[in-house]
Amino acid sequence: MEITQTTTAAPSLAPQTETPEAVISSDFETFLKMLTVQMENQDPLNPTDSSEYAQQLATFSGVEQAVLTNDLLSSLMVQMSTTGMAQMADWVGKEARAAVPAQFDGSSITIAPNPASVADKVELVVFDADGNEVQRSEIPLSTDPIEWAGTDTDGTPFPSGLYQFQVVSSSNGEVVLAETADIYTRVQEVQNENGNSVLVLRGGISVLASDVSALREG
């Protein structure tokens, strides 16, 4: 007796991803079945007003359109954020100006102060990564960039690490403005986080592209 061997293809275990349109179509069919059952089982002596069925259909249609609109908006946001990152690709390697800490490694750091116009004295206050004040010095009443050498009064270099800069403006001995100073630092990477373009600067510091006030060649 001859035995014929039959091979049955194993079913695919790959997950099937349904599109929003397929989900909505399935939900609409379920809705129609439920509506049909409701109509079949209504009280013949007290039938449901046809306007109620129309209202239910209109409600479902509104939900359907809202789901499709949300999907379309999400798709547009992804495309816009990707386009924004592509446009900022040439930012990498340049120096961005922002109010962020700076990575000191022995090279001078460019600071862009913005003192109060009514000040008669302006100081640059330097803090280390732990928030401790390590230096305070008087600077000109000007918005021109200055270079911080990263050395003490006797010329001893500060340790490498992150430093924060604050510009303190005083008038007649009273502080009228104290704010974090902008610094120039190199852009190392551009990322997309929750639809926002984020710049990764030297030292691993992240800042929103919208918080960058200037850009220059490195």
* Cβ–Cβ under 8 Å, residues 171 and 130: no
pLDDT value at 132 more than 50: yes
Q: What angle do CA 137, 139, 141 make, to 5 degrees?
A: 150
Nearest CA-CA partner of 189 in 175, 178, 176, 203: 203
- The lowest-confidence range among 13-27, 44-58, 168-182, 184-198 is 13-27
**Residue boundaries of the structural domains of the chain:** 91-216
pLDDT value at 157 more than 60: yes
Q: What is the mean pLDDT of residues 80-101?
A: 78
**Helices then strands (H, E): number in the chain?**
2, 12
- 163: number of Cβ within 10 Å: 22
Give me the phi and psi of 65, to 5 degrees please: -65, -35
pLDDT value at 74 more than 70: no
Structure confidence by residue, pLDDT tens digits, 98-117:
999 999 999 999 999 999 99
Dihedral of the CA atoms 44, 50, 52, 53 (nearest 10)?
Answer: 100
pLDDT value at 125 more than 90: yes
* Predicted local confidence at residue 1, as pLDDT: 42
Q: What is the architecture, at CATH level 2, of domain 91-216?
A: Sandwich (2.60)
**18 — pLDDT class (breaks 50, 70, 90):** low
**55 — pLDDT class (breaks 50, 70, 90):** confident
Q: Which residues contact 207 (CB under 8 A, 6 or more apart)?
A: 96, 98, 100, 198, 199, 201
Nearest CA-CA partner of 124 in 151, 99, 146, 96: 146
* Predicted local confidence at residue 121, as pLDDT: 96
Structure confidence by residue, pLDDT tens digits, 162-175:
999 999 999 999 99
Looking at the chain, the whole-number percentage of residues with pLDDT higher than 90 is: 49
Distance of CA 192 to the CA centre of its chain: 6
More confident of the two residues 161 and 54? 161
Residue where the block lists tokens 């349904």: 18
* Predicted local confidence at residue 16, as pLDDT: 53
